[in-house]
Amino acid sequence: MTTQVTNPITQEDIQVGEIANGLPLTIPVYRIKGDGTGPKVYIQANMHGAEVQGNAVIYQLLEQLKHMHLTADITLVPYANPIGCNQKSGEFTLGRFDPITGTNWNRMYQDNSHLVKEFANKHLESDIETIKNEFRQTLISEVDKVLDGPAYAITTGKRIALNLQKLAHQADIVLDLHTGPISSKHLYCPEYAKPSASYFDIPNVLMIPNDFDGAMDEANFCPWWNLTEAFATLGKELPIAVEAFTVELGSQELIDLKEAKHDANSILSYLTYKEAFTDSQYQPKTMQRYVCELKDYIAFYAPMGGMVEYLAPLGSHIKSGEPIANILRMERYLSEQPLQSICLDQDAITILHFASASVNQGTELYKFFTNYELLT
């Protein structure tokens, strides 16, 4: 007979800014503690305003976690971006970028990899535990240095990002929950963490190289990856201590609690593999998983302006030459073929498409995996 535990959950509201009428911007941080023997886990959602489903996944995670035997300390942050979340323009949430500057909210994290070289030199003789603790502290201090520096030097988005990054740097495992516009599930996975990818119930996996481009996952895995490489150069072998993923849950502007439960289970399966629990039964589903390198993840821009009928089903494997869209151009009904059929010139997996049916020439119509292979 299993006794049901009920783990205490705490909430802390951290301030990440102030809006024009002087009111604070806050983010709710939920924490649930394990027995201290497992990894530290950080999960956030909704950095982009319209990508709300991660909040539902965090809901479903909390509903499970409060009754599980945890080794891990888990921090969960829904509504990570209180500006993006509440920025409407017409009926939709305009939360992909700062409405004032156009800067993508998920490109404002800070790369602390420049600290690696000096750190590695200094800790050549240290043991792994010391290295992990000290480097973690170094990363956090570097973020604090900016947050505690002059207020006039930090943009709105940077302040939000750094407050989140500081929380994330405390963890061994970082999951940033996003969605595409109209999208199938896919996973951004650093190349070194490929073995972990098959524990998520996500069929399509992007392999991310060690390049920093401003995103949360990179802000967490790049320094640790670089640290390992720096030690390697110095002849010291060290496993990469942190895993960080961007989990793309599907489409934006959608709350689906049942699907959220599936995705919570997928995350619990991964966390089970990472030994976050003492007796978890969560296992990954059997499915064919595909990997694609980031350089082969291609955007397909609208070759002409018009009204789009999207034909390639999300997640589908399409063949070169198959129609992926019809573009209707009624203004030219008499002067040319008003319905243009659009194809891709190579085989691909359809990952996502644009959220709207009307596009300018050059609007990103689709994103595809190309040159993909089975994840093994």
Which string of x and - marks every residue 42-61 that binds a second copy (by CB under 8 A)? -------xx-x--xx-xx--
For residue 187, report the phi and psi dihedrals to the nearest 5 degrees.
-130, 130
Stretch that binds a second copy, among 99-107, 130-138, 199-207, 289-297 (CB under 8 A): 99-107
Least separation in angstroms between residue 102's CB and a second copy is 3
* 8 Å CB contact between 24 and 18: yes
Tell me, what DSSP letter sits at residue 76? E
Phi, psi of 101 (to 5 degrees): -110, -15
Site for a second copy in 186-245 (CB under 8 A): none
Nearer to a second copy, 96 or 123 (CB): 96
Which listed range, 112-120, 155-163, 210-218, 225-233, lies at the site for a second copy (CB under 8 A)? Answer: 155-163
Number of residues that bind a second copy (CB under 8 A): 96
- Looking at beta carbons only, is 12 or 118 nearer to a second copy? 12
Does residue 339 bind a second copy (CB under 8 A)? yes
Bridge partners for 43 per DSSP: 76, 175
Q: What are the two backbone dihedrals, phi and then psi, of residue 29, each rounded to the nearest 5 degrees? A: -115, 120
| 144 is an interface residue for a second copy by CB under 8 A | no
CB of 226 to a second copy, least distance (A): 23
Residue list 100-119, contact with a second copy (CB under 8 A) = 100-104
| Given 157, 190, 223, 250, the residue binding a second copy (CB under 8 A) | 157
**Does 148 engage in binding with a second copy (CB under 8 A)?**
no
The nearer residue to a second copy, 2 or 89, going by C-beta atoms, is 89
Check residue 294 for interaction with a second copy (CB under 8 A): no
- Calpha distance 248→185 (Å, rounded): 5
Select the residue interacting with a second copy from 71, 156, 226, 280 (CB under 8 A): 156
Identity of the residue, 163 or 280, whose beta carbon is nearer to a second copy in the bound complex: 163
Q: Is residue 330 involved in binding a second copy (CB under 8 A)? A: yes
> Helices then strands (H, E): number in the chain?
7, 21
| Cβ proximity to a second copy, 75 vs 198, nearer residue | 75
Cβ neighbours of residue 274 under 8 Å, at least 6 residues apart? 38, 39, 41, 72, 173, 196, 243
- Distance between terminal CA atoms of the chain? 38
* Residue range at the interface with a second copy (CB under 8 A); choices 210-218, 235-243, 249-257, 288-296: 249-257
Q: Where are the beta strands (DSSP E) in 191-328?
A: 204-208, 243-251, 290-293, 297-301, 306-310, 317-318, 323-328
Query: Which has the closest alpha carbon to 215: 118, 119, 96, 117?
Result: 96
296 binds a second copy, rule: CB under 8 A: no
20 in contact with a second copy (CB under 8 A): yes
For a second copy, which residue of 38, 39, 223, 306 counts as binding (CB under 8 A)?
Answer: 306
Q: Is 99 in the site for a second copy (CB under 8 A)?
A: yes
Q: How far is CA 266 from CA 47, 131, 257, in A?
A: 21, 31, 14
Give dist(CA 325, CA 343) in Å, integer.
7
Smallest separation, CB 64 to a second copy (Å): 13
Q: Which residue has the tokens 């479903």?
A: 60
CA angle (46 as vertex; 48, 300 as ends), nearest 5: 45
User: Considering the rule CB under 8 A, would residue 371 count as an interface residue with a second copy?
Assistant: no
**Shortest distance, position 213 Cβ to a second copy, whole Å:** 14
